[in-house]
Chain A
């Protein structure tokens, strides 16, 4: 493919979710897609900025967009859905509201046209296309029965992110099926996992995560696939806590989408960071019945 993409890691991928970064980097390398980190990027403001000061929140993202524009990227990959949404929101404003655009451009002291499109990880795989994915597969994921979990942010707000069907997305299913995996129909693909509440109200997050995990199991999934660092924290890192509160829940591996693409094209677990997951996630485990885990 030989493609160069702008890359906005955000705080998570350089910190708590470095496993996600290594997974994406390794996986995309296999498709000859090179990620170039944005020079001098700033925090997207996360959930704090936009709830306190919308202008600050937009300005932070506007700065990142202006940098991407200056460096000439047509597309900017933001793997964290919150970063991605914040960037999309800012770009939406820039494109729709001329006055606001000028204001933001003045604040960040850079020209700002909204030229760079912001994309998520799923969109990268979609642009590679099912045919090319299938060609690259060295180890078909026949044992995988995935519950595709999009979380609350990836498709919302629909008018801003313009990605998939807001309530009934199915792009992830298409990608996984190209890798030889099967996917299950289940109920909580776009439900909230509790996100940042994990720090303030752990018990709420445990209940929400339990519903998600239990529903995936009830519908016959043997793993959950995510595309969000926060979802991964709540479903993977907190799974032990969740299982303490709900002992009947079997252990359920939680993969990043890029993990499974990487494994399918022949990368090793250690290259992708799968070995750093809290819940053991080696592919071989999936062939065993859940109860024995």
Chain B
């Protein structure tokens, strides 16, 4: 070591070289600080362990001694040399010397950098008002920050508001959700934009600007007092209810369900007699608050926010033949959409729900009869690469077990049959729940697929196989419930493109790291939670929503944001504005800018780095044909300096 120290002192540019056994210890750091002051050093190389271990330590020591922390380099002679090479040989020593020399040559090219400060708007946008969005909004608002909650439908509540009872406890979905919805509606820190959509997003971490389209409701939300007399009196009654997935009917002026938040109706112009035939006008006549406005139009509002939580949820795979996505193929052989009594899981939820179209009695859609034999089919679409959906939808095993129980509890002499591929019931009290469905409530489980559902003599013939029994099974069913795959909700991809966040081949939004950054996206300041990120159940969605909210709070805990200054910079005078870096940047951190003279005349175009967005990967540096992009901390001069010292 002494030899190494002596040889280091001889490297051109080195003022002094000292050896100490534990440089990272307190006395070692004191020594570093002393030397910086004593020798008036303008650069520091620590030949020790990996920079991943102690870069921070020595930068802090340098800072304490008045040396800019970005003038510190570490020569990794432990992990990359002494620990991996034969000890005490000339080759190992030569290598150690080379590493030190390279670091010295780098530090010579280093220059002072200051952390980047970014201002911050402490207001969050939550997109999607399902259970995940509600949870995130409440958590952020309860922490004292303003929240803007945007929901596409007329009410918050999402898919969960339409569920009957939830696994594995069988508590009533609405009973646990509606108080949370009311809380969101009444929270002084939450501004609710229902029946609204995010139109455009610009800006960056801490400073997003969001354009929101408030769709024409034809009801003035501020004037309306929520008496809902209009809803009671509207004569246009026989319109398919979206909330009941077509199993029930709604009026033309309506709230999706009685507990809607806000309890303000909307008019559907497609089914409203006033809009279609310019007659009626009943709602206008009876509204005492004078809130009906047939002339209403979409409104665009702009909001400034510092962070965004995306919670746009899921939709179910369309089982029938017609598909909206290329590559996804329907199950024509199951007759969904053709046979009225073949329904999907969410439709069954409405049948089983006390607030549903049958008031919670299990009645089949075709004739309202009570079905005595019901077949439930799991994995409809899920885990079927041939249909374009290779992934598991995760919740279907559980809700199918739940459906068989709800059915048995309501139709005591009924028999539930389940066709499944595997039972995936990982989770607290989950497997016990499935066992209960089988053992206590007598659901018959067949491990196998259904090849076809056909109608014969008013019965649905379900032909499948029992691969454990090793024989074909044919069941005469009165109703069939298909547990169809979860897919990201409509428009999720388009929204992701507006937000510049990633999504996978199935359209689920991408987290930044599957294990360690599960709610962050690759765009700083934008977070994801709930089923828009991948299939998940209510507890997981809620947990993820709280996690996203916590991340927003961490962000909002500071008065301004500081960022590492090791970011890209562009030599704007020489930049040819070819925009190669714009296309290469994974973070959209480079924009095309104009340089104007004092008279406001355009001098030239240039690429410009937004240091608030740049993550410092340096891809722009290597694509720049005119060598105008460079990366602080890993600049061309620094790297070439290192390589140049290799002789």
Contacts and interface: CB of A to CB of B under 8 A. Distances in A.
A58 B321 CA distance: 34
A191 B456 CA distance: 15
Interface in B315-335: 321, 331-333
A165 interface: yes
Contacts of B278: none
Interface string A232-255: 000000000000000000000000
B456 A218 contact: yes
Contacts of A168: 321, 332-333
B457 interface: yes
Contact of B332 (A167, A191, A215): A167
B454 interface: yes
Interface string A163-178: 0010110000000000
A187 interface: yes
A187 B452 contact: yes
Contacts of A187: 452, 454-456, 461
Contact of A218 (B321, B331, B332, B457): B457
A286 B337 CA distance: 33
A167 B457 contact: no
Interface in B289-337: 321, 331-333
Contacts of B456: 187, 215, 218
Interface string A140-156: 00000000000000000
Contacts of B333: 167-168
Nearest to A188: B454
Interface residues of B, number: 10
A168 B321 CA distance: 9
A188 B456 CA distance: 11
B332 to A, nearest CB: 4
A185 B173 CA distance: 41
Interface in A195-243: 215, 218
Contacts of B454: 187-188, 215
Contacts of A188: 454
Contacts of A215: 454, 456
A167 B457 CA distance: 22
Contacts of B331: 167
A218 B454 CA distance: 12
Contacts of B455: 187
Nearest to A191: B452
Contacts of A191: 452
Nearest to B338: A185
Contacts of B457: 218
Interface in A47-87: none
Nearest to A167: B333
Interface in B438-456: 452, 454-456
A191 B454 CA distance: 12
A191 B457 CA distance: 19
A198 B217 CA distance: 67
Contacts of B452: 167, 187, 191
A167 B455 CA distance: 16
Interface string B452-467: 1011110001000000
Interface centre among B452, B457, B461 (most CB of A within 10 A): B452
A168 B457 CA distance: 21
A207 to B, nearest CB: 11
B332 A165 contact: yes
B81 to A, nearest CB: 48
A160 to B, nearest CB: 13
A136 B581 CA distance: 65
Nearest to A215: B456
B480 to A, nearest CB: 14
Contacts of B332: 165, 167-168
A162 B461 CA distance: 29
A42 to B, nearest CB: 33
Contacts of B321: 165, 168
A225 B56 CA distance: 81
Contacts of A218: 456-457
A13 B597 CA distance: 87
Nearest to B452: A187
A187 B334 CA distance: 11
A126 B68 CA distance: 80
A154 to B, nearest CB: 16
Contacts of B461: 187
B400 to A, nearest CB: 23
A167 B449 CA distance: 15
Nearest to A168: B332
A78 B505 CA distance: 39
Nearest to B455: A187
A243 B333 CA distance: 29
Nearest to B332: A168
A153 B456 CA distance: 24
A188 B474 CA distance: 14
A187 B455 CA distance: 7
A167 B331 CA distance: 8
A167 B456 CA distance: 18
A25 B613 CA distance: 73
A187 B451 CA distance: 12
A215 B321 CA distance: 23
A218 B458 CA distance: 12
Nearest to A219: B456
A168 B332 CA distance: 6
A218 B455 CA distance: 11
A167 B319 CA distance: 14
A215 B454 CA distance: 10
Interface string A269-292: 000000000000000000000000
A138 to B, nearest CB: 36
A165 B329 CA distance: 11
Nearest to A186: B454
Nearest to A165: B332
A31 B232 CA distance: 66
B636 to A, nearest CB: 45
A43 B92 CA distance: 73
B66 to A, nearest CB: 69
Contacts of A165: 321, 332
A216 B149 CA distance: 56
B467 to A, nearest CB: 18
A167 B338 CA distance: 15
A131 to B, nearest CB: 26
A191 B461 CA distance: 14
A168 B336 CA distance: 13
B451 to A, nearest CB: 9
Contacts of A167: 331-333, 452
Nearest to A187: B454
A214 B299 CA distance: 61
A198 B218 CA distance: 69
A253 B642 CA distance: 89
A127 B452 CA distance: 30
A91 to B, nearest CB: 21
B427 to A, nearest CB: 34
A28 B385 CA distance: 40
Interface centre among A167, A188, A191 (most CB of B within 10 A): A167
Interface string B198-233: 000000000000000000000000000000000000
Given A168-B321, A168-B332, A187-B454, 13 more contacts: A165-B332, A167-B452, A168-B333, A187-B452, A187-B455, A187-B456, A187-B461, A188-B454, A191-B452, A215-B454, A215-B456, A218-B456, A218-B457
20 contacts: A165-B321, A165-B332, A167-B331, A167-B332, A167-B333, A167-B452, A168-B321, A168-B332, A168-B333, A187-B452, A187-B454, A187-B455, A187-B456, A187-B461, A188-B454, A191-B452, A215-B454, A215-B456, A218-B456, A218-B457
Would you list the 7 A-B pairs with minimal beta carbon distance, nearest first? A187-B454, A168-B332, A167-B333, A167-B332, A165-B332, A218-B456, A187-B456
